[in-house]
Amino acid sequence: MNSIETPQKEKSKWPKRIFILFLIIIASFVGYVWVCGTTYSEGSRTGVVVKVSKKGYFFKTYEGTLNLGSISAGDGIIMPTKIWDFSIQRNDTAVFNKITQTQGKDVRLYYREVVKTFIWQGDTRYYVTKLEIVK
């Protein structure tokens, strides 16, 4: 008797490949979120807040502008020399209200700069976390 070997059915490799692809996508997303939340630098800037607002179509964020220095051009005209745009940390209404109340006064804003932002976090990479009035 001649025995004929029957070939065994090969298992498909597609489920394993799809699972590995899924893991790569998840790991990439987690890495991207981690990078976006990483603080690149921290510090403070001193000047006069000239604008603070809540803006955005879908994601409302608090944004502001700080005049870091100015030159008097006579007749009460002040020309700004350096403007710094900032966002307020995670829509922190307490900081937003303090900044609104101190508009036009000398303030020191403490901030953290992130590597990359999501669209719902603000327009800038600079997030103000604290405010101090300069005397």
In sequence order, what E strands does the chain have? Answer: 39-55, 61-72, 78-88, 106-114, 126-133
Geometric angle at alpha carbon 65, from 103 and 42, rounded to 5°: 105
Stated pTM of the model: 0.70
The answer to whether residue 12 is domain-embedded is no
Please give the residue range of the domain that contains residue 122. 40-133
For 61-107, the pLDDT digits (tens) are: 899 999 888 666 666 666 657 888 999 977 688 888 999 998 888 89
Residue 27: pLDDT band with limits 50, 70, 90? very high
- Radius of gyration (C-alpha) of the chain in whole angstroms: 27
Distance CA 53, CA 14 (A): 52
The answer to whether residue 109 is domain-embedded is yes
* 68 touches 50 (CB < 8 A): no
Q: In this predicted structure, what is the pLDDT of residue 74? A: 61
Q: How far is CA 110 from the centre of its chain?
A: 15
Q: In this predicted structure, what is the pLDDT of residue 115? A: 85
Q: In this predicted structure, what is the pLDDT of residue 59? A: 85
The answer to whether residue 34 is domain-embedded is no
Question: How many distinct structural domains can be found in the chain?
Answer: 1
The answer to whether residue 57 is domain-embedded is yes
Which carries the bigger pLDDT value, residue 108 or residue 4?
108
Q: What is the CATH number of the domain that holds 114?
A: 2.40.50.860
Which carries the bigger pLDDT value, residue 42 or residue 33?
42
The answer to whether residue 64 is domain-embedded is yes
The answer to whether residue 23 is domain-embedded is no
Q: Which two tokens stand for residue 92?
A: 């922190």
The answer to whether residue 54 is domain-embedded is yes
Q: What are phi and psi of 26, to 5 degrees?
A: -60, -45
The residue written with tokens 């070939």 in the block is 7
The answer to whether residue 71 is domain-embedded is yes
